Amino acid sequence: MMEFYRDTWAEIDLDAIKWNVEKTIEELDPSVALFAVVKANAYGHGDVQVARSALQAGAKGLAVAFLDEALKLRASGIDAPILVLGASRPEDAHLAAEHRISVTVHDEDWLSKVYLKKGLLLNIHIKCDTGMGRIGLKTKEELRHVAGQIDQSDSFVFEGIFTHFATADEPETNYVEKQLEHFQHLVNSLSVKPPFVHCSNSAATLRFKGAGCNTVRLGISMYGLTPSTDIAPLLPFQLKPAFSLKSKLVHVKKLKPGEKVSYGATYEASEYEWIGTLPIGYADGWIRKLEGQDVLIDGRRMPIVGRICMDQCMVRLPKEYKTGTLATLIGRQGNEEITMEEIAEKRETINYEIPCVITSRVPRVYI
Ligand code: PLP
């Protein structure tokens, strides 16, 4: 286990990740392959550890956003198929080929800029833009052109075709249906279909069982988080969150009425108050907007008071606690729980963003 010398850490429950993957696979037709999306350091959970757990649980491959992330996984000894979902530079394609990393072709000109040494093979997935408006080919003509380029080269292997839904996490399904129809139209226009055809993120995997494709790309729900609160009741099983954030009181003191806390001296004790200091701050991703947010100590909710500093923040305690007492900022303590969604709401964002922005200064501990 990694050594660290501070009293704040994130605990990652790899069994929860395995369980979420296994339960998802049970929901799918046995012919459907699951790719685990481990981009952005596995949504802040730790890419290598999550990748290994997902593969043990039955994932057939991994997906990342950038070539750098794929190379890191390869360097760690992971041998499974890896797909780079985002745009790679054509001049870096040889690196992908050398490391058996599959790349995404997202525009018509990309392949014409690729030069590979004889004997190197580049695995290619074609990305179709069916309504996300991000990257990808839009028409049958573009698709035919790229498929033809692949066909005419000894260096290119047509491994997959995919698209990405913009609204699979919303109760209304019209837009998803439109995108799917467009995707099917594009796929059906190919004379030869590649082995991997995929369109589903977590929401579409769990709600539409992969939407008739033979591969799915599972991200957020592998981490035990619902793609959106709106569709939580529509999911086939209760996910198990894998990420919790913990700290310990490093300093406890009693303030007199009128004494102040933190920068700006904006918080003032109205009576004799116990204040505890936690060694976590905005440089850990625990941003100033979280002032007022509760943390769990002794199984109870207690608020952060005063401005959050770069490395520390202060909590109002109902009584004296010893330094070293555990504080849970995300996760469960006793009967109380602070969910990723609660933090997301406070920060006016989505649950996806929260573990991603807990910075690398917070050690990840695997349980
Ligand atoms: N596929 C692509 C192309 C993505 O960009 C993402 C994540 O943003 C995913 C799959 C995984 O989505 P989710 O985390 O909603 O399962």
* Residue 3: its H or E element: none
Q: What are the DSSP calls for 266-302, one per residue?
A: -EE-SSSEEEEEES--GGGT--GGGTT-EEEETTEEE
Tell me the pLDDT tens digit for each residue of 231-259: 999 999 999 999 999 999 999 999 999 99
Q: pLDDT value at position 1?
A: 57
Q: pLDDT value at position 12?
A: 98
User: Is this structure's pTM higher than 0.95?
Assistant: yes
- Report the pLDDT averaged over residues 155-170: 98
Residue type (1 letter), 252: V
CA trace torsion 352, 354, 359, 363 (10° rounding):
-90
Tell me the pLDDT tens digit for each residue of 70-104: 999 999 999 999 999 999 999 999 999 999 999 99
Nearest-atom index, ligand 1, CA of 37: 11
84, 164, 229: residue to mutate for ligand 1 pocket, most atoms within 8 A of CB: 164
Q: Taking 90 as the threshold, does the pLDDT of residue 148 lie above it? A: yes
Interface predicted TM-score (ipTM): 0.99
Question: What percentage of the chain carries pLDDT values higher than 90?
Answer: 99
Q: Which whole-number Å values give the CA distances from 84 to 36, 89, 172, in the listed order?
A: 12, 11, 30
Confidence of residue 344 (pLDDT cuts 50, 70, 90): very high
Closest CA to 281 of 306, 316, 312: 312
Q: pLDDT value at position 104?
A: 98
Nearest-atom index, ligand 1, CA of 39: 7
Confidence of residue 192 (pLDDT cuts 50, 70, 90): very high
CA of 203 to the centre of ligand 1 (A): 9
* pLDDT, mean over the chain: 97
Q: Which whole-number Å values give the CA distances from 68 to 40, 214, 331, 351, in the listed order?
A: 11, 27, 31, 25
